[in-house]
């Protein structure tokens, strides 16, 4: 019943959501990426739209139809996501970084396809560290803007997530265990724990749509004084 209740608690709010993986090219036909499906970001964007927000979704390559009523911008690399998101930051009331941004990119991708006949040895790649978009956003946060990050963890969820929250300076971290059955990447369900700098807020489990609404309920509460 909660999901059918079309509260307009995000009415007039501008919200930027990132979703999906990024792809870092090795050569024109190969890339490094991760298992992110984009589903959590899609659920957040849809839930925000239902609750009255003006939503911009910046997404890496995913196999999902563009959500109704939402401005969607497609990007491929972490670098493209960085420039797109930083350009859009100024006008947002809320930013939710649900994307699984690649941490490293091949430093010198080959400009033509690497051929197996090229050499007897396998190709070797040097990697460079990508910019941390979330940390950058938090450092350049305009007043009145609330920033939510995700933390994908395979162990020690609570400790790792809280360290991430602190290190990046986010207002809230949604921690999810991305190992094991029916959790995290690729599936339609999720189980998350929410943290603010004050500590653990709550947890939520269910479909990604349900979890998205639970996250937004907490964001609204946290923003009561910020968004008057
Ligand atoms: N993130 C980002 N830019 C990056 C890497 C991550 O904005 N280059 C964001 C993600 O969108 C997410 C949060 O930072 O909201 C945490 O991402 P995660 O991969 O869990 O943490 P990292 O800081 O990259 O640490 P690690 O992967 O080593 O656990
Ligand atoms: Ca990472």
pLDDT at 4: 47
Q: How far is CA 195 from CA 34, 92, 170, in A?
A: 24, 21, 10
The torsion angles phi and psi of 191, rounded to 5 degrees, stand at -135, 120
Helix, coil or strand: residue 123: coil
pLDDT at 179: 72
Helix, coil or strand: residue 149: strand
Q: At what angle do helices 208-222 and 39-50 cross, to 10 degrees?
A: 60
Secondary structure (DSSP) of 5-46: ----TTTT-EEEEEESB--EEEETTEEE-----SHHHHHHHH
Q: Tens-digit pLDDT profile for the chain (228 aa)?
A: 444 455 799 999 999 999 999 999 999 999 999 999 999 999 999 999 999 999 999 999 999 999 999 999 999 999 999 999 999 999 999 999 999 999 999 999 999 998 888 766 788 899 999 999 999 999 999 999 999 999 989 899 999 999 999 999 999 999 988 776 655 677 888 999 999 999 999 999 999 999 999 999 999 999 999 998
CB-based contact 208:190 (threshold 8 Å) = yes
> 2: buried, middle or exposed (CB in 10 Å: 19+, 13-18, 0-12)?
exposed
The binding-site residues of ligand 1, defined as CB within 6 angstroms of any ligand atom, are 78, 97, 99, 101, 103, 130, 132-134, 149-152, 164
Helix, strand, coil content of the chain in percent (nearest 5): 25, 30, 45
- Token pair recorded at residue 109: 């991708």
Indicate the top mutation candidate among 104, 131, 141, 149 to test ligand 1's pocket, ranked by most ligand atoms within 8 A of CB. 149
Query: Of 143, 29, 38, which is closest to residue 81 (Cα–Cα)?
Result: 38
pLDDT at 117: 80
Return the CA Rg of the chain.
18
pLDDT at 188: 86
120 alpha carbon – ligand 2 mean position (Å): 33
CA 202 to CA 192: how far, in whole Å?
Answer: 9
Query: Of 127, 125, 147, which is closest to residue 136 (Cα–Cα)?
Result: 147
Return the ∠ at Cα 201 (arms to 200 and 207), rounded to 5°.
115
> Parallel, antiparallel, or unpaired: how do β-strands 172-177 and 104-106 relate?
unpaired
Q: Is the ipTM of this complex over 0.85?
A: yes
72 is in an annotated binding site: no
pLDDT at 191: 92
Burial pattern 197-209, b for ≥16 Cβ within 10 A else e, equals eeeebeebeeebb
Indicate the top mutation candidate among 164, 165, 178 to test ligand 1's pocket, ranked by most ligand atoms within 8 A of CB. 164
């Amino acid at each position: 019943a909660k999901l059918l209740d079309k509260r307009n608690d995000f009415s007039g709010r501008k919200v930027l959501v990132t979703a999906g993986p990024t792809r870092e090219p090795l050569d024109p036909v190969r890339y490094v990426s991760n298992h992110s499906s984009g589903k959590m970001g899609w659920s957040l964007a849809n839930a925000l739209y239902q609750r009255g927000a003006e939503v911009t979704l910046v997404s890496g390559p995913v196999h999902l139809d563009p959500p109704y009523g939402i401005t969607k911008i497609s990007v491929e690399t972490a670098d493209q996501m960085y420039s797109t998101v930083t350009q859009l930051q100024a006008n947002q009331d809320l930013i939710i970084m649900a994307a699984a941004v690649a941490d490293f990119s091949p430093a010198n991708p080959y400009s033509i396809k690497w051929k197996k006949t090229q050499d007897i040895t396998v190709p070797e790649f040097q990697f460079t560290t990508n910019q941390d978009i979330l940390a950058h956003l938090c450092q350049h946060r305009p007043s009145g803007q609330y920033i939510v990050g995700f933390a994908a963890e395979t162990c020690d969820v609570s400790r790792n997530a809280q360290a991430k929250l602190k290190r990046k300076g986010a207002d809230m971290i949604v921690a999810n265990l991305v190992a094991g059955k029916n959790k995290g990447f690729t599936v339609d369900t999720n189980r998350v724990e929410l943290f603010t700098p004050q500590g653990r807020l709550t947890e939520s489990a269910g479909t990604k749509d349900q979890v998205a609404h639970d996250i937004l309920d907490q964001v609204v509460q946290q923003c009561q004084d910020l968004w008057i």
